[in-house]
């Protein structure tokens, strides 16, 4: 046996089986704890990256909204070269209202198609499987 407490491959084990099982159990427990610490550290790092990424996406969304507002102001200014400013603003507002109404109607339609949120096909499949198991168990 070596000084580290492990037998060399090929040498006869001098320890009782109970001691070997106990040591293996301790080593397995230590391995599981170490793996859990590693997983926790990895998930913490990933969580930080997701947080930073989410913040950057949020910032990009805000700047995108500001960009669209500037574009609307530009369109109003361009139209005001042909008509009065208030008419140009009214035209742009009407177009934006129409786009908003269309998007809301399409969104409502999609949400209606998704209702109810339960996975109906899976529920039906599980019910059919349970009926089949019960039927076979009665035979």
Percent of the chain with pLDDT over 70: 90
Q: What is the pLDDT of residues 40-86, one digit of tens each?
A: 888 888 889 999 999 999 999 999 999 999 999 999 999 999 999 99
User: Rg of the chain over CA atoms, in angstroms?
Assistant: 34
Please say whether the beta carbons of 78 and 69 come within 8 A: no
pLDDT tier at 106, thresholds 50, 70, 90: very high
d(CA 92, CA 18): 84
Q: What is the pLDDT of residues 20-43, one digit of tens each?
A: 889 888 988 888 888 888 888 888
Q: H or E segment at 94? A: helix 85-114
d(CA 47, CA 8): 43
Measured between alpha carbons, how far is residue 71 from residues 18, 59, 81, 104, 127 in Å? 78, 18, 16, 22, 55
Q: Give counts: helices (H), strands (E), the chain.
A: 3, 0
Q: Which residue has the higher pLDDT, 102 or 14?
A: 102
Residue 6 has pLDDT above 70, yes or no: no
pTM for the complete prediction?
Answer: 0.53
d(CA 31, CA 97): 62
Q: H or E segment at 131? A: helix 120-138
C-alpha count within 13 angstroms, C-beta hemisphere, residue 63: 6
d(CA 55, CA 51): 6
């Amino acid at each position: 046996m070596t000084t580290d407490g492990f037998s060399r491959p090929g040498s006869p084990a001098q320890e009782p089986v109970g001691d070997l099982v106990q040591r293996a159990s301790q080593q397995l427990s230590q391995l599981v704890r170490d793996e859990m610490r590693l997983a926790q550290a990895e998930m913490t790092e990933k969580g930080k990256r997701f947080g930073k990424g989410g913040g950057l996406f949020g910032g990009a969304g805000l700047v995108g909204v500001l960009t669209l507002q500037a574009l609307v102001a530009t369109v109003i200014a361009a139209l005001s070269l042909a008509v009065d400013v208030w008419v140009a603003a009214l035209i742009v507002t009407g177009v934006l209202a129409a786009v908003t109404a269309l998007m809301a109607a399409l969104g409502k339609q999609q949400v209606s198609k998704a209702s109810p949120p339960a996975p109906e096909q899976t529920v039906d499949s599980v019910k059919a499987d349970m009926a089949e198991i019960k039927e076979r168990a009665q035979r």
